[in-house]
Structures are given as C-alpha cells and as structure tokens.
Structure 1
Amino acid sequence: MRKRFDGNLNWSEVTPKAQWLNRRSLLAGAGALMVAGGAQARIAAAASDFSTDAAPNTLEEITRYNNFYEFGTGKEDPANNSAGFMPDPWSVKIDGMVDRPGDYALDDILGGATLEERIYRFRCVEAWSMVIPWVGFELATLLNRVGVQPGAKFVAFETVVRPEQMPGQRSRLLDWPYREGLRLDEAMHPLTILATGLYGEALPNQNGAPIRLVVPWKYGFKSIKSIVRIHLTDTMPATTWNMLNAREYGFYSNVNPGVDHPRWSQASERRVGGGLFAKRVDTQMFNGYGEHVAALYAGQDLTRDY
C-alpha cells in the first residue's frame, strides 16, 4: 500500500539514517535554465506522495548488489570496480526537439536553492526487488525548463563512455554507449525522476553517479545510470537491450507478471536481503504503481507492447 507521508515526519521514520545531510537544491532561475554557484541549502523534510511505506533496504544491500555492466556483469562487480570512476566534473547534453539545447554542467543543474529535493522511497524490481530511498526531482521539471517542442514524442538517454574508468566497456558485450528511452508521457509522469542521491548522500559510483533515471513501474534496466545525454525526438529511440535481443526485451519493459521473459517467469520476485532461501512473492502489475500509471497505456496490448 502506498500512502501520503506526513510532512512532519522525523527523518528516522523515513530512512534508517540518523540524520539527513545537506544537499544542493535543484534547478533554479528565472528565465534561465539553471543557476550556477553550488550554493547549499538544508533540504526540508519532504517525502514523495508516491513513496511506499515498505521498509527500505540497507545501504549495504543497495550499494553491493547492482547491475551496471559498465563495471562488470557480476552483482558485486560495480562496487568492486568503480572506485576509479570520476563523476566530477560532469555535464549533460540536452538536445533534439527542445527550445534551449546545450551542455549543462551538473553543478549548474544542482546549484540553485528554490526547489526542494524530495525523498522517493520506491520499489525497484528485476527478478529481485529492493526498496530504495532515492533523493531526486521529477524529470518533467528539467524537460519543462528546456522547453519541449511540439511534435516531440520520445526522450532518449545515453550513459557516459569511459572504458579507461569503466572496465566493463572494454568488452563487446554491449554496443556502448548504453541507451534507453521513454515515451514523452512516461517521461513527464511525476513518478519518473532523476536521482542524484540515496539515503541522503550523493549517489555512489556503482548506483549511477552522479545522476540517473528512476522509473519505478518498469524493470530496472530502463533506469539508465550516469547520464550524459538527453535527446528529445519524434521517433522511438533504439535502446540497448532491445537492440541486443528484441524478442526478450521490449521498448516498454513495464513490470508485468502476465508476460514471461522467454527464459524465465516474471510472475514472482525475491527481495534482496532476504537470503538465498527467501520466500518469493507475487510480482505486482506495474510494480504496484498501477493506480498512477495504468492510464498511460489505455488501449494498448501490453502482451505485444512489452
């Protein structure tokens, strides 16, 4: 069950961390897209209206069990192999069908102090699931500030390519850079966020530092990490896993227990942290967020548009 959190909650009730740390607030400026300066502000205790009331996973579990093939295919490879990755300085190219294209430094994106960062305690699922207290802001906030042009239908994303810092990219396992995409209405939904932290701290390298997408009603590989490009287009973009094997990985990739992966069932999942013999539980349609997102797919056959 999902509920609206009381705005007066103590931080200990939102996350096991003892105290919320200062973080730079987001996306300020009148007339301009971003404001530079790196000013820091104490973030108000604001929890997302969409947050789950399930207990979050521990920081250790969230940062030691990851899929991030740029650092290796094993679950612990990202944590073990990402120490040399340098997420600062960072910039994101925003181009395509936007009014204000450009290369925007992350410090400019995070430098203002007029908007609150919010806690999004989302369930994230592949064949396993976690509950993660993300720190972030709605992707729609950024898209509205760059100005989406009429006719734009999709948003495409790319991950950075740095094989000297990301050893997994030295292989030909995938066609680098990692690419993902959303339909524009999915991208503009308030559940779709750009995360810059978790547990009140900046994102660890293995979790997609310094900025990543989180789309909690879709399988985890849709939530692209370490983003360096956001491109608005009128054409459905190519996405990495769909390019690799379209039969197994569709563009939409909504959590759907009624559509099996060709090599395994997706009808149940196991919570990370529960141990090897943890009881499997039924997977929920749209990962339990159906009341918020099902209307996006009215009239679609989700066994075809998987």
Structure 2
Amino acid sequence: MTYENPYMNGQIWPELNILEILRQRNPLVICITNDVVRTFTANGLLAIGASPVMSECSEDLKDLIVHASALLINIGTLTPDKVSYYKDAIALAKKHEVPIVLDPVGCHAGAYRLSVVLDLIKTGDISLVRGNQSEIKAIYDALSPNNQANTSTTGKGVDGGQVEDSAIIAYRLARLINCPVVATGEEDYVSDGTRVFAVPHGHPIMTAVTGTGCLLGAVLAAFFSAYYPYKNRLSIGEFLAYALAYYGLAGESAVQVSGVKPGSFSVAFMDRLYTLDDAVLMSENHIRPVVVPDQLEVYFISGTQDVELNEHRLLSIVEDACRGGVTCFQFREKGAGTLVGQ
C-alpha cells in the first residue's frame, strides 16, 4: 500500500530549465542496445537534444567512452558474446566515471536473462535500472533477502503486466542495489532509495509501438548525465521523475495529433519529443510524491538541543544515522538557544 503525502498538496514546484540545459549540453549517449530498436533510439535521442552513438565491440568502445556522458546497456537481443561485452563496457564506463543505465529487457520471462541482469547489477557499478514493473519485480524477488519470490506477474515474452505495490518494490530494490530504480507501467514509479515519486503520464498506444520502452532507457541516460547542475536542488529520484513526466507528456500530446494509430503515433511522438519545452513540464505538478510504509521503519528525531546546540555536530550525527539505516528523520528544534527562523 502507498499513500499520497498529505503535506505536499498544493506545493509550488521549483522553476527548472531541465530540457534547456540538456539540449545545450548535447550529451553523447553510447547505446549498447538491441537490434530491433537502434534507429528508433537514435532518432529519439536526437529529438530530445542528445547525441547518440551505437557501439558493438570493446575495441570501439575504448575510443568512444572518453567522450561519453552516459552509457545505456539494453539486453533485448541477448547472446553469450554480448554478455562479455556488457561486462567490458561496465568496466570501461567505471574507469571513466560514465553513468550506466541498465534496461533488463525480458528478465522476468526467462532464467538466463535474469541471471545475466543479476550478474551485471552485482558489479555494483550500475547507476540506474529501468524496467517495466514485471522486470523490476523479478529482479527484486531474486535479490530480496527474504527470498520469498512471487511469480504473480503477468505478460508474455518481454511484455510485462501490472504489478501490485510497484512503488514499494522500486523503493526496496533501490535500497538493495544502491542505485535509482524506475518501474514503468500504467503509472510509472521512480525511487532513489530515499523517496518515491509516481508519474501518471503516457498513453496505452505507446506499448503498441516497438521501441518506446527501450528509447526511454536511452532518454533517462541522457537526463542522468545532465543531473549535476541540479544535485543541490533536487534528489536524483525527483529529477528522474521529471524526465519520466516529459516522456509521458510527449506521448499524450502525440496522441492528440495522431489519434490512436501506431504508425502515425510513432512519427508524432518524435515530433513532440523535439518540440516540448520546460514551460510544458513546469505548467503543473506532473509528478506526485508517495509514501511507502518502509520509509517509516526507523524514525530518528533530533535537534541542536540534543547536541549542546552544536549545528555542525547535529549534521554529522544525522549523516551517520542515515548511513546506519535511518529511513525517516524529524528535525525537532525546540528550547532555549536553539536555531530560529528560516
């Protein structure tokens, strides 16, 4: 069960120019992706203002990675040879401090795919995992310390069905693997292991166009590479929620032009990715913070009155508490000599 945060209603969201900065930066995104979606992915990255390049061997990647802003690994057309390449690519990206987005296509559909995904995650170098809700649940079930796998997901092939409590699963998996997790479905969820956001945008016709999910992984890679200017203003989870909202809004807007027709939608979708701007993204609250019960498991309360009115000591203690497993902190500043005002 999840809950809307009652204290967030009517919040005025910050003025952001995410798309403008991304387009100015024109990040180079290296795509190791499946054979089906290369053209669609390249066109989509160009439409959002990024620069795509496809790579298929380690020798080539060694030259490209030094210029890259992000790396996408999409396992859609999996072979044993590609597994070795994925691992080489992760090592090279780590060496050059390039963020890595993993798209675990179809890992809920077969043991081999899932084993490959788990091996890649266990390197500890993945920066973001983006999958549909069934894929994310399969990864969580496999890695969960409770080891109580639930095989109730639905779908066929690499398609996934809706999964109950996807927000909770995304939160738990993000904490478990120490990187943000995006779980897409009728409503998308993103968690960085601290907060959870729901993004209720998109259109069902998007699932009828091959490549829309795979392109999202590449788009998130481009956004991830542009996060640095916002790191003191937004958590990475909230930042990625805006990226999801942009993608979903582009889909909704495209349907208004194309109607519910897959061929026409594909063209209109590219156009909308190209033309949407920050004004649309900031026009209203397109993302919704939610609370999952896990976030209240270890609730820590403190203020400067508890540390001899020493503000810096309090900050150090709270940081240690967070590293020790605190999931919620209440800043309780009360009493004579404590901090006042903003």
Name the one with the larger helix percent.
2
Establish whether TM, by shorter chain, passes 0.5. Answer: no
The TM-score, its normalising length taken from structure 1, stands at 0.28
Name the one with the larger strand percent.
1
The TM-score, its normalising length taken from structure 2, stands at 0.26
